[in-house]
Structure 1
Amino acid sequence: MKIQRLGAMASLALVGSIALAGCGSDNNTGDPAASGDTTASASANADCFDGTLNAEGSSAQKNAFEEVGSLFSAECTGATVNYNPSGSGAGIKQFIGGQVDFAGSDSALKTVEKDGKVEATEAATYCGSPAWNIPLVTGPIAVAYNVKGVDKLTLTPAVAGDIFSGKITTWNDPKIAAVNSGVTLPSTAIKVFFRSDESGTTENFTKYLKAAAPANWAGEPAKTWDGKGEGKAKSAGVAEGVKSTDGGITYVEWSYAKDNDLGVAAIDNGAGPVELTSETVGKAVATAKQTGTGNDLALKLDYATKEPGAYPINLVTYEIVCSKGKDAEKQKNIKAFLKFFASEEAQKAIEEIGYAPLPAEVQTKVEAAIEAIS
């Protein structure tokens, strides 16, 4: 049995969101380790409860949430965890508005004013306590492409910046050829796809372009795209757009690139091409600096890193929670689910579907923060 099947079953249970409740394995006999079923080992970490949690936000973590929620509900049959992958911006708004129990966001709550508001202040007002950013999902951003006859591709920040800003328009452009010696590149037109909704993935990808190629990318990092291309809704939309278009390219979470059998470019930040793997992502995320204080684990990634073997285009999805909640029972249930999400077994399960497990340095802090939720 593949773990992914559990998530697929769960996603059918609630239209417009992912309802994760009571989905068990279709293989209830034999040795779990021998059959490849990780449910038994993962369930040992579950603090079960009877009740419902509702969360919303990042579509980048949709597949990870689906996977972990299925494992959790296979053990805790009285628990329902609903997740609506509406996008990071929508999730934060719903959390601040008191419509969901916690939010998923690919960027930490803003601590500076924007449009007359400060997200962190608004969240704290709603909670009656500081809201914490707890990183639980490391989602590498793949520069995913579909170019007939091109099975291997390397991009530099400068070339990527020129492609996504519309300065390079064909795949055989000399700038692309210069960093892909020996690769036969066709004259096919480049078709850029971008996220049309407010997206933490967009914000993190534009942070990368701005940090690593400021001369080639003039835009400022933001959840809304200001480059060239055709907009598609959510991660699934851009991945499907590239899959159906010869010459297509996008920025999307690795798991979506894998699901759609898309090519993934190696990135050369200056220390040689680096393939996207769990190991190269972990090497980059382990160097992140904590910008939050105490158990607020907001991180700053170094997108311009030239560390050999470190894949630089990453995002971290935070679960945004009240540090102290108005409903003690609800907080206890949130704590139980997040504790399971942070477990070694759950992190291993999401690695198998295209995410990277939390580096040990980060995981230790995450576990301490979750334990402090009250």
Structure 2
Amino acid sequence: MALVSSLSLAACGSDNNNTTASGGSNGSAATSAINCGKAGSLIAAGSTAQTAAMDVWKTSFAAACSGSTINYQGGGSGAGIQQFNQGKIQFAGSDSALKPAEVDASKAVCTGGQGIDLPMVGGLISLVYNVDGVDNLVLDGPTSAKIFDSQITKWNDPAIAALNPGAKLPDAEIQTFHRSDDAGTTENLTKYFAAAGGGAWTYPAGKAWAAKGGQSANGSAGVSAQVKQVKNSISYVELAYAQTNSLKSADINTGASKPVAATAENAASTIAKAQAAGTGSDLALKLDYATKDEGSYPLVLITYEIVCDKGNKAETLDTLKSFLTYTASDAGQKAVGEKGYVPLPKAVTDKVNGVIATLA
């Protein structure tokens, strides 16, 4: 993991200037420079999973680079990709890589090029729950898939009880919550169900919720709020939202020697083993949702920043490259790691920075 000291940014006095972030909580020092370049404003949208990360990055970047602003709106991965392919925003955030049809559509706005995926935010999806008296819930792929498809409807169902011997599971109806918006988080969850559900999940993995039953809410913030308010409920959100809302997260029985907790360290173990799926300047990754490795949490995600490899708007290109170079830096990754995200392996961020340098 690319871990460095805490971020400290001083304001840039003018365009084409560098600001340095340095410090060291463990006694060592690390330095990462932000090249502010030309002052400019970027508009972006998409994944709500990375909203907290964007809040950190855009604040730090604006403070460092006088006259530059980053406006990031959530709305979900699907909405972000749609706006990007309509030419309304400079980049989109998506918790799943572009599909072939989306790449084809991007060629209309990326003159002479196409949309590409740059992995930027590592995270995990917590199965968050609100059940009185149950503090250490364990679930597995088949059981969680059946819960979210209304095949298992009571908390004291034998399948849940078998995974939680000794737990005082209530004889209560399970209230599930899923995303109402098209979400990459939903796609990653359903990919996990497809890979590790033992056939219990019969729907295609995708951004739109397809299963039976349950109630919906908009965005990660929306489903988090519902679980916090509604007893005997369960949903899925990124670790940052689970932590912010003080929600309990289930451990996952993957088939390893013991259930795996929803921690950044355990997610990092899985992300570090991701395989390349993209070609050329597209850096999409393939995750192993069915991992049984010790200490590897299977419900992980990568949020990509989607940009044009060629055909970016000339007036914002310099700011775009400067901002993304910062977010992929050791300092940028460390800053969001302190907010519940998973810093990407340096082998990944080095490739990302290599591609950013070539954007045109």
Letter in 1 for 2:86: G
**In 2: Cα distance, 1:34 partner to 1:285 partner:** 26
Partner of 1:168: 152
Q: Tell me the CA shift for residue 46 of structure 1.
A: 4.2
Q: Tell me the CA shift for residue 179 of structure 1.
A: 0.9
Instruction: Say yes or no: does 1:119 pair with 2:105.
Output: no
Superposition pairs for residues 247-326 of structure 1, below 5 Å?
A: 247-271=232-256, 272-326=258-312
Instruction: Say yes or no: does 1:150 pair with 2:139.
Output: no
Q: How many residues matched?
A: 338
Instruction: Say yes or no: does 1:133 pair with 2:148.
Output: no
Instruction: Say yes or no: does 1:338 pair with 2:348.
Output: no
**In 2: Cα distance, 1:163 partner to 1:92 partner:** 30
Partner of 1:25: none
User: CA deviation digits over 1:50-100, x for unaligned, max 9?
Assistant: 111000111111111111111111111310100010111111111111100
Letter in 2 for 1:362: V
Instruction: Say yes or no: does 1:362 pair with 2:348.
Output: yes
User: CA deviation digits over 1:168-218, x for unaligned, max 9?
Assistant: 112111111111123222223211000011111111101110111142111
Which structure has more helix as a fraction of its residues? 1
CA contact (8 A) 1:46 1:72 kept: no
Partner of 2:90: 101
- Secondary structure of the residue that 2:109 maps to in structure 1? helix
Q: TM-score, structure 1 length as denominator? A: 0.86
Q: Tell me the CA shift for residue 287 of structure 1.
A: 1.5
Partner of 1:213: 197
Partner of 1:114: none
Letter in 1 for 2:110: C
- Relative to structure 1, the CA distance from residue 300 to residue 326 in structure 2 (aligned partners, 3 Å threshold; closer, same or farther) is closer
Aligned-residue sequence identity (percent) comes to 46
Which residue of 45, 65, 85 corresponds with 2:54? 65
Q: Tell me the CA shift for residue 35 of structure 1.
A: 9.6
CA contact (8 A) 2:178 2:214 kept: yes
- Relative to structure 1, the CA distance from residue 352 to residue 42 in structure 2 (aligned partners, 3 Å threshold; closer, same or farther) is farther
**In 1: Cα distance, 2:66 partner to 2:32 partner:** 11
Instruction: Say yes or no: does 1:52 pair with 2:36.
Output: no
User: CA deviation digits over 1:220-256, x for unaligned, max 9?
Assistant: 1011111231010111110000000111100111111
Instruction: Say yes or no: does 1:237 pair with 2:231.
Output: no
Q: State the superposition RMSD in angstroms.
A: 2.2
User: CA deviation digits over 1:120-140, x for unaligned, max 9?
Assistant: 011123202022100100121
**In 1: Cα distance, 2:31 partner to 2:171 partner:** 49
Letter in 1 for 2:96: S
Partner of 2:8: none
- Relative to structure 1, the CA distance from residue 155 to residue 326 in structure 2 (aligned partners, 3 Å threshold; closer, same or farther) is closer
- Relative to structure 1, the CA distance from residue 41 to residue 66 in structure 2 (aligned partners, 3 Å threshold; closer, same or farther) is farther
**In 2: Cα distance, 1:100 partner to 1:223 partner:** 20
Q: Tell me the CA shift for residue 300 of structure 1.
A: 1.2
**In 2: Cα distance, 1:46 partner to 1:251 partner:** 37
**In 2: Cα distance, 1:308 partner to 1:175 partner:** 23
- Secondary structure of the residue that 2:75 maps to in structure 1? coil
5+ residue gaps, structure 2, are: 1-10, 13-21
- Secondary structure of the residue that 1:321 maps to in structure 2? strand
- Secondary structure of the residue that 1:231 maps to in structure 2? strand
**In 2: Cα distance, 1:34 partner to 1:370 partner:** 27
Partner of 1:14: none
CA contact (8 A) 2:47 2:80 kept: yes
Q: Tell me the CA shift for residue 311 of structure 1.
A: 0.5
**In 2: Cα distance, 1:332 partner to 1:75 partner:** 15
**In 1: Cα distance, 2:35 partner to 2:129 partner:** 39
CA contact (8 A) 1:286 1:361 kept: no
CA contact (8 A) 1:43 1:71 kept: no
Bigger RCO of structures 1 and 2 (CA < 8 A, at least 6 apart): 2
- Secondary structure of the residue that 2:124 maps to in structure 1? strand
CA contact (8 A) 1:42 1:71 kept: no
**In 2: Cα distance, 1:155 partner to 1:312 partner:** 12
Which residue of 175, 183, 187 corresponds with 1:191? 175
- Relative to structure 1, the CA distance from residue 285 to residue 302 in structure 2 (aligned partners, 3 Å threshold; closer, same or farther) is same
Instruction: Say yes or no: does 1:80 pair with 2:64.
Output: no
Partner of 1:179: 163
CA contact (8 A) 1:56 1:86 kept: yes
- Secondary structure of the residue that 1:250 maps to in structure 2? strand
**In 1: Cα distance, 2:172 partner to 2:32 partner:** 49
Partner of 2:3: none
Letter in 2 for 1:282: A
Partner of 1:4: none
- Secondary structure of the residue that 1:372 maps to in structure 2? coil
